[in-house]
Amino acid sequence: MRTTTTIATRLSASTALALALGLLAAPLAGAQEQEKKAAAKAGRLPQATAAQTAQPAAAAASNQPATMLDLITISATMIKTAVIESMAAISAVDKEELERIQPNTAADIFRTTPGVAASMNGDDPATAINIRGLEQYGRVVVTLDGARQDYWRVGHGSGSFYIEPELIKEATVIRGPVSNAYGSGGIGGVVSFETMDAGDFLKNSERWALSEKLGYESNGDGFTTSTTGAYRFSEDADIIGNLIYRDRDSYKDGNGDTVPWTGERVKSGYLKTTLRPADGHELKLGAILQQYNDQITGSSGSTSPTLSRYDTNTINQTYTAAYTWKPDDNDLIDLSVNAYHNRTRAEQTQVWPTSAIGNFRYYDVATTGINMRNSSRFDGWDMAHTLTYGLDYYYLEGNSETTHFGSGEQQGYGGFVQWQGDYSNWLQLIAAMRYDGYRLDGETRKPTIEEASIAGSRWSPRLTVGVTPVEGFQLYGTYSEGYRAPGLQDVFRGGGAHGSGDSYVPNLLLQPETAKSWEAGVNLKYNDVLTPGDKLRAKVNVFHTAVEDYIDVDLTVLPRTAINIGDARLKGIEAEMVYDYGWGFVNLAGALIDAKIVNGVYAGQRLNNTPLNRFSATVGFRMLEDQLTVGAQYLSVGEITRTSRSNPNATPVVNDGFELVNLFANWRINDNAKLDFGIDNVFNAAYTDPQSSWSTTAATQQGKGRTFKVALTGRIGG
């Protein structure tokens, strides 16, 4: 993908810049240290960074490190809440964890998140998120800075999205239809990604700052550069920008075999400004651009000499405007209005076989939307009340010259009202109702080209009761419903499976999917458990979800079409625990999930790509006055039983699970220089992710073999 000279030049330049920033930062760090000592002598506390001030007050008061479960994030109720205090199945990955694991793909971010599987094929940088067995666009809502990331293409790309992990400050996952306040769809859940604000990057005493990060991974000879700069014009205006370049060749599996077509080149970046024109008012304007160059195949992982291959250029653009108004003297107003536009366009030029070289196709999906909500807080009847209500609308347009894509227009709109009541410190109640409507417009194409449309609407309720009988121990139970409209590809797809033939026909009789879910959980929050200053946080939940009128393609008959194949049932248990004792920590997470179709032609078969039985354990130790963190991570993924969709009576095929061990070390040299090191797949296990489409088509193992990773970050500011 690149010459040795080019690599050496870029590595040398980036290394020099990172080292220079780190060396330049050393005197500044020394000066800051002297300032801290002087402040301590004077009885003053040194100013904290923005990230430090964002930690929960309890942690700050007790001088204890905050855990991921203490992270304040937007919860299922659309109100900022600590993850551990949310009465829903919520998990979050913060910046510290992202720096620890050094993710190369968006899928890497969720490898320890219970109930979630993020699968991607090595020849395609797009990621598909599966929550409790549900995936594809509309079932799982994915947002980036509040903007929906809706995208699909033919074949095995439905429901995928493009996000460069270096852009991300924080990722939050809300599992189940309890998340329906986020907008139309989302019966499986919501995945929310956020980028950094200038306030997250700048220290309180800084007006400007610049950082350069250089990363390298041995498997695939890949490197990453990330340059970030921010400037504070005043207390009421700031701006941050970031540029990222990632380049790697095809990697090798655990057997030492090169996995073909897994190289890629990524260019991305974003610009975000924050304006505060008056007290209580804030406006954030953002633009995120990503470009991916790679080569994909018609059947991922296959080594067939006649396999179709395409040079692919994908551009993802996201533009956001977020306004908030929260006056200090009026608890009835906590208003937010968000507008966004996202467009993903993939252009593919065929490079094999020789008879088809030069053939061109494209997939273009654009979503424009707006949502607004307000929270009013007041006291009455011996309770604290929070009333949240809002409206949302999006317009989606999908275009392609291929008949198998399902071109057309989709509109989704809705509104919700939610009441939360808190009685003393032991009782919490949540009651909510959401209205959803949709309309799809497209062309049938077969038997003749005719314009057609379908529409529908529904009310979906939610009720949650939570009790805290003793401090630190909370029990809750929830009943919730969700509503997912058929997608454009479901309704209007025609043509053949991979762009040739005429084996698919549209279906204007598709009914929307309805999810009805029961969930019960417990939140544990204790301090000073075994040693003074330690913290124990845990979330455990069980769930049972029935999905009526589940949509899938019936492959037992021709012509093929998407139909309501029957009802699906999802049930399971999810758990995660964090124990932090100052000089070390232990993170445990796991899930046991069973997701099946219960009636119809596929009765008894598992849903595609269910997240399987997963368990992870991470152990870390802090040394050198918390400047050095070292640790190990263990990941176990269970086997999956696959049944044939074209012949439901065929003997099932069992794909093996796998176990991986990863190591990490993070050294904060000073306040402005940092070195991160890791080894993924320490024992060089040969495996294929059973949730990847490669698990049924690959001639060789497709999991990435042993990989050494290192990243150096230098920073200056003033």
Domains present along the chain, CATH in parentheses? 4-717 (2.40.170.20)
What is the pLDDT at residue 213? 98
- Contact (Cβ atoms closer than 8 angstroms) between residue 692 and residue 130: no
- Contact (Cβ atoms closer than 8 angstroms) between residue 35 and residue 47: no
Residues β-bridged to residue 361: 348
* Residue of 663, 603, 606, 670 lying closest to 639 (CA atoms): 606
Total residues found in the chain within this entry: 718
pLDDT digits (tens, 9 = 90+) for 151-160: 988 655 555 8
What is the pLDDT at residue 437? 97
- Residue 169, judged by CB atoms within 10 A of its CB (0-12, 13-18, 19+), counts as middle
In angstroms, rounded to a whole number, what is the distance separating the alpha carbons of residues 632 and 626? 17
* Residue of 129, 124, 132, 153 lying closest to 141 (CA atoms): 129
DSSP annotation of 178 reads G
Torsion angle, alpha carbons of 200, 202, 205, 207, to 10: -140
What is the pLDDT at residue 151? 92
- Contact (Cβ atoms closer than 8 angstroms) between residue 534 and residue 580: yes
Q: Which residues contact 679 (CB under 8 A, 6 or more apart)?
A: 662, 663, 664, 706, 707, 708, 709
Residue with tokens 């990503």: 290
In angstroms, rounded to a whole number, what is the distance separating the alpha carbons of residues 189 and 571? 15
Q: Phi and psi at residue 7, in whole multiples of 5°?
A: -60, -50
Full DSSP string of 300-336: TT---TT--EEEEEEEEEEEEEEEEE--TT-TT--EE
The tokens for 155 are 């074949």
* Bond into 56 cis (ω within 30): no
What is the pLDDT at residue 289? 98
* Residue of 182, 698, 202, 579 lying closest to 391 (CA atoms): 182
Q: What are the counts of helices (DSSP H) followed by strands (DSSP E) for the chain?
A: 8, 34
The pTM is what?
0.89
CA distances (Å), 522 to each of 76, 301, 349, 456, 587, in order? Answer: 16, 42, 52, 36, 17
In angstroms, rounded to a whole number, what is the distance separating the alpha carbons of residues 480 and 544? 11
Q: Which residues contact 494 (CB under 8 A, 6 or more apart)?
A: 403, 404, 406, 444, 445, 446, 502, 504, 505, 506
Residues β-bridged to residue 631: 620, 664
- Provide the sign of the torsion angle of the four alpha carbons 178, 183, 188, 189, taken in this order: negative
In angstroms, rounded to a whole number, what is the distance separating the alpha carbons of residues 658 and 683? 12
Residue with tokens 């999956």: 640
In angstroms, rounded to a whole number, what is the distance separating the alpha carbons of residues 368 and 412? 11
In angstroms, rounded to a whole number, what is the distance separating the alpha carbons of residues 64 and 61? 8
Q: Which residues contact 714 (CB under 8 A, 6 or more apart)?
A: 17, 18, 19, 20, 21, 22, 23, 24, 25, 211, 212, 672, 673
Which residues in the chain show pLDDT less than 70? 1-68, 74-77, 120-122, 154-159, 180, 298-305, 446-447, 497-501, 609, 691, 693-700
What is the pLDDT at residue 11? 41
pLDDT digits (tens, 9 = 90+) for 305-340: 677 889 999 999 999 999 999 999 999 999 999 999
- Per DSSP, the three-state class of 486 is coil
In angstroms, rounded to a whole number, what is the distance separating the alpha carbons of residues 430 and 418? 7
In angstroms, rounded to a whole number, what is the distance separating the alpha carbons of residues 191 and 482? 16
CA distances (Å), 178 to each of 50, 242, 592, 597, in order? Answer: 31, 34, 20, 21
Helix, strand, coil share of the chain (percent; to 5): 15, 55, 35
Q: For the chain, state the CA radius of gyration.
A: 25
